[in-house]
Amino acid sequence: MPDKIRLTYSKDYAVDIGDHVFPTLKYKLIKEKILKDPALKNRIDFIAPKPARDEDIELAHDKAYLDKLKFGTLSHDEIMKMELPYSKQLVAASILCCGGTILATQIALNSTLGIHIGGGFHHAFPDHGEGFCVLNDIAVAVKRLIKYGPVKKVLIVDCDLHHGNGTAAIFAGDKNVFTFSIHQENNYPFLKPHSNLDIGLKDGAGDGEYLSALSNNIPGMIKNFKPEFLMYVAGADPYKEDQLGGLKLTKEGLQKRDEFIYRHARDSSIPVAVVLAGGYAFNESDTIDIHCNTIRSGIKLFYG
C-alpha cells in the first residue's frame, strides 16, 4: 500500500459557464467532502495535473479542431453543439482535464488505482465537441497509454447515464480497446455509434436490472478480452433524482455498481483509472455523495 493515496484534482476545473445545469464547482465540493472524512483525510494527497501536451491530445483529436479551440475560431454551430459557452478558460480547463486523466492512468500503473476528481467527457469526437464535452480525456489518456506502454489492451467501462458516443467513434475498429457502455437508451445522444458492447436500458430501470446487466457482462468481457488496464467512467447521473436522467438507481445501487467493477478488476489484477463523468441531481449534495462513494469504495477495495 502506498504511504499516501493520490487523487488527481485541480482547482482550475471550476469554470464560470453561467446559469448551466453542469455543476463545474462539484469537483471542489468533492475534495472538501473527502477532507472532512476522518477515515480518509490523513490518507490522501491531492495531486494537481499538468495540461496535456498537444501531441497527446492529437492522438484522439484532429489538429484543426484543437487549433479552433485554442485560437477561438469555432463556428456558432460548433459552439451550440458543444452546449457550453466558449471561453479561453473553458479550453484551458479541458486541456488540463486531459492531463488529469493521463495522470490518473500513471498513478494506476504504479499503485493499481488512480482516481481523477474530474474527467469523463465521452461525447467529444475527433473533430468537434458535444454535450458539455470539449475534449475526450478518456480517449486521449487511453491512446497515450497504449502508445507509450506498458499496456496494450484497455477495457473502457462507461457507466454514465448517457451513451459514450464520442469514445465509441474514436475507438471504432481499434482491436486494442474494448468499449462498453451501459446507459439509458431513450436519452441523449440521439445517434449512438456502436461500442463493442452497448446495453441500452429502458426508462425507469433501477438497481436490480442495472446490476444484473453488469453481472451478466463484465466477467465475460474480462475473461474474453483479457484487458491489461481498465478505464472506469463512473457517472453519477443514473441516480433516480438526476435532472437529465430517467433511470431509477439509488445511491446504494450506484455504490454496489462501483464495488462490483472494482472487485472484478482487483481480483483479475487489472489496474483501474477512474473518471467521474456526469451528475446533475436536483440536490447537488446528492451528486457529491455519489461521487465520494465512488472514491471511498475504490480506496476500501484496493487499499483496505
The Cα–Cα gap between 192 and 261 comes to 24
Residue 149 has pLDDT above 90, yes or no: no
The Cα–Cα gap between 34 and 29 comes to 9
For position 212, what pLDDT does the model report? Answer: 98
| Residue with the three cell numbers 458543444 | 82
The Cα–Cα gap between 35 and 44 comes to 8
Give the residue extent of every domain in the chain. Answer: 5-303
Residue 259 banded pLDDT, cuts 50, 70, 90:
very high
Kind of pairing between the strands at 113-116 and 5-8: parallel
Q: How confident is the model over 124-138, as a mean pLDDT?
A: 98
User: Regarding the domain delimited by 5-303, which CATH topology (the fold level of the hierarchy) does it fall under?
Assistant: Arginase; Chain A (3.40.800)
The Cα–Cα gap between 224 and 201 comes to 23
| Share of residues in the chain with pLDDT > 70 (%) | 99
For position 279, what pLDDT does the model report? Answer: 95
The Cα–Cα gap between 85 and 21 comes to 12
Render the burial of 220-250: b for 16+ CB within 10 Å, e for the rest. Answer: ebbeebebbbbbbbbbbbbbbebebbbbbbe
1-35 pLDDT, tens digit per residue, is: 567 899 999 999 999 898 899 988 899 999 999 99
Among candidate residues 100, 172, 91, 111, the one with its CA nearest the CA of residue 140: 100
197-224 pLDDT, tens digit per residue, is: 999 999 999 999 999 999 999 999 999 9
41-76 pLDDT, tens digit per residue, is: 889 999 999 999 999 999 999 999 999 999 999 999
Query: Phi first, then psi: what are they for 251, rounded to 5°?
Result: -60, -40
Residue 199 bridge partners (DSSP): 182
